[in-house]
């Protein structure tokens, strides 16, 4: 295949894309060899600008509402045509890629972007065809990404000047006016989240890694969680092998990665706490919305001037400790990561199957430096509690119970052990009042010790204590963790304050689960108001 055909630049290498991005002034170099860029007013996803085309083949299967907003088919056709005309006036960067790399559960893609750096992002985050299976019987999806196109709501039927629109009938994704690169990967994640349940495969918003013991036996661990809970940081463990950091499928005999790269948050990134991620930010990586010194070209990951949601994208090959095949066996251990702003949840709890269903449907965490833009187009720095079903409601086109039922079947059939891990606060709330918070956030080494204990099997069958209001079972001991931290009530200076906060959080859980139609046994497994 020719590398260039007219204005089309087809399947360029990473080096060629970096050269073109530098020549066009899209990016600049950092001292590590990575490129960096700023995405303007949109430094996170814009859920209010995400749509699904309403058409007969998918209409009755989608959970329509604020998350899955309908878009008319005629309006989509008209807007697609306008974007095609817009792209015809510029160089196009075209890549042939896959999402997923396991058996028949992947999709071939043609990704067309207006900018070279977004094409590099696609190459980093999706899977190269040589890594996948023969796709002769697969119909390709087409993705158009026009970062500089400006939507006109009165003409185009959008809410603002940008949009992400999925058309299942035509196998098309249109992304216009969105420079924040995360929209590209999450759009195709949403596609897989719709398609895979029909194949009895659970799509998951989770990280996954594998441990291998002295006898060569392997164990797979899943880490579910929303942005800011620590999926990428905790899955990049020097003692284990990474499958992926964000998007996976769970089939009857394996867990497989949808992606070919990682997209890590960079706020306060350090070589001590995140050594693998730190080493991965080199030539071929993209640093996004991070302050970089103009003289030294050194990125300052403590500076949130542009956004708390600074990011870096890098291919999996930048991680030496990875699973080359991009998949492994089914999950022995499943961890739900929750960044609890109230300081009420224990650092680790052991969940029954029913409790696992409850907390999966709840998807409780805190929004911190959110990846989502508010209605005014800005990322909020406010810390607040949030429930996001399946730990990924913004990407789930189908009703939540579809995914919960699949997860319960996988856990039940394989005998997976499930845990709830709090990566948030203890000893008090994380909400800042008068310049400081009453609680303190768990240190990464503490959470790593807990996760290691889970993965080693240490907590599979241990003595526990029951927390009545939260209805959680907590271990009495965890190797490498101060026992005084395990019961959150003991960490508060005033236990009465803890009791009040625990009852308040329990009521939030109960109010949220009432939105779902679930079995009585599942409701009984959750907190008590």
**Enzyme catalytic residues:** 45, 186, 205, 227, 231-232, 246, 311
Secondary element (H or E) of residue 384: strand 384-387
96 burial via Cβ count (<10 Å: 0-12, 13-18, 19+): middle
How is 160-215 classified by DSSP, letter by letter? SS-EEEEETTTTEEEEES---THHHHHHHHHHHHHHGGGGT-EEEEEEEEEEE-TT
DSSP strands (E only) in 230-325: 241-244, 247-250, 255-257, 261-265, 286-288, 291-292, 299-300, 311-315
Structure tokens at 64: 């329509």
Q: Quick one: angle between helices 116-125 and 14-23, nearest 10? A: 150
CA distance readout (Å), 55 to 38, 69, 193, 216, 391 = 36, 13, 18, 50, 27
- How many helices (H) and strands (E) are present in the chain, helices listed first? 13, 31
Q: What is the rounded CA–CA span in Å between residue 356 and residue 345?
A: 15
Write a three-state SS string for 44-92. CECHHHEEEEECCCCHHHCCCCCCCEEEEHHHHHHHHHHHHHHHHCCCE
Q: What is the rounded CA–CA span in Å between residue 112 and residue 174?
A: 10
Secondary element (H or E) of residue 351: strand 348-351
Q: What is the rounded CA–CA span in Å between residue 217 and residue 215?
A: 6
**Displacement of CA 289 from its chain's centroid (Å):** 18
**Phi, psi angle pair for 360, to nearest 5°:** -70, -45
Structure tokens at 120: 């590099």
204, 222 Cβ separation under 8 angstroms: yes
CA distance readout (Å), 264 to 110, 251, 274 = 24, 26, 10
Q: What is the rounded CA–CA span in Å between residue 316 and residue 318?
A: 5
């Amino acid at each position: 295949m020719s590398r260039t055909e007219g204005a089309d630049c087809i399947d360029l290498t990473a080096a060629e894309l970096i050269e073109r991005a530098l020549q066009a002034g899209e990016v600049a170099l950092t001292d590590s060899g990575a490129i960096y860029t700023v995405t303007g007013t949109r430094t996170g996803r814009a859920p209010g600008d995400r749509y699904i085309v309403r058409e007969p083949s998918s209409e009755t299967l989608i959970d329509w509402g604020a998350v899955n907003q309908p878009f008319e088919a005629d309006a989509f056709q008209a807007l697609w045509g306008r974007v095609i005309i817009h792209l015809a006036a510029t160089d196009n960067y075209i890549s042939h890629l896959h999402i997923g790399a396991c058996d028949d559960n992947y999709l071939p893609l043609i990704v067309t972007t207006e900018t070279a750096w977004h094409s590099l992002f696609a190459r980093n985050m999706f899977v190269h065809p040589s890594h996948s299976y023969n796709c002769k019987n697969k119909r390709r999806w087409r993705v158009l990404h026009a970062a500089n196109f400006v939507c006109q709501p009165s003409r185009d039927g959008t809410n603002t000047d940008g949009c992400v629109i999925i058309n299942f009938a035509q196998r098309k994704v249109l992304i216009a006016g969105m420079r924040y690169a995360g929209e590209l990967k999450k759009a195709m994640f949403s596609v897989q989240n719709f398609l895979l349940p029909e194949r009895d495969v659970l799509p998951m918003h989770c990280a996954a890694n594998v441990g291998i013991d002295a006898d060569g036996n392997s164990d797979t661990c899943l880490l579910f969680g929303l942005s800011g809970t620590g999926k990428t940081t905790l899955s990049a463990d020097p003692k284990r092998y990474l499958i992926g950091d964000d998007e996976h499928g769970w089939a009857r005999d394996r867990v497989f990665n949808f992606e070919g790269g990682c997209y890590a948050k960079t706020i306060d990134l350090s070589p001590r706490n995140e050594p693998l991620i730190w080493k991965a930010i080199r030539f071929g990586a993209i640093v996004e919305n991070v302050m970089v010194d103009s003289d030294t070209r050194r990125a300052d990951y403590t500076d949130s001037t542009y956004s708390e949601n600074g990011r870096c994208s890098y291919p999996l090959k930048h991680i030496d400790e990875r699973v080359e095949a991009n998949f492994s066996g089914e999950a022995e251990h499943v961890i739900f990561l929750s960044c609890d702003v109230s300081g009420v949840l224990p650092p680790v709890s052991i969940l029954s199957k029913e409790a696992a269903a409850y907390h999966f449907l709840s998807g409780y965490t805190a929004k911190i430096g959110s990846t989502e833009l508010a209605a005014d187009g800005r990322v909020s720095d406010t810390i607040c509690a949030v429930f996001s079903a399946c730990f990924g409601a913004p990407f789930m086109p189908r009703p939540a119970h579809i995914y919960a039922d699949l997860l319960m079947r996988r856990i039940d059939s394989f005998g997976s052990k499930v845990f709830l891990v709090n990566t948030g606060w203890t000893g008090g709330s994380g909400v800042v009042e008068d310049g400081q918070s009453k609680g303190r956030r768990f240190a990464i080494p503490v959470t790593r010790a807990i996760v290691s204990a889970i993965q080693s099997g240490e907590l599979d069958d241990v003595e526990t204590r029951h927390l009545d209001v939260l209805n959680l079972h907590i271990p009495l001991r965890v190797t490498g963790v101060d026992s005084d931290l395990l019961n959150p009530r003991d960490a508060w200076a005033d236990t009465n304050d803890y009791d009040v906060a625990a009852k308040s959080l329990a009521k939030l859980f109960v109010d949220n689960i009432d939105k779902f139609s679930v079995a009585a046994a599942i409701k009984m497994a959750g907190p008590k108001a």
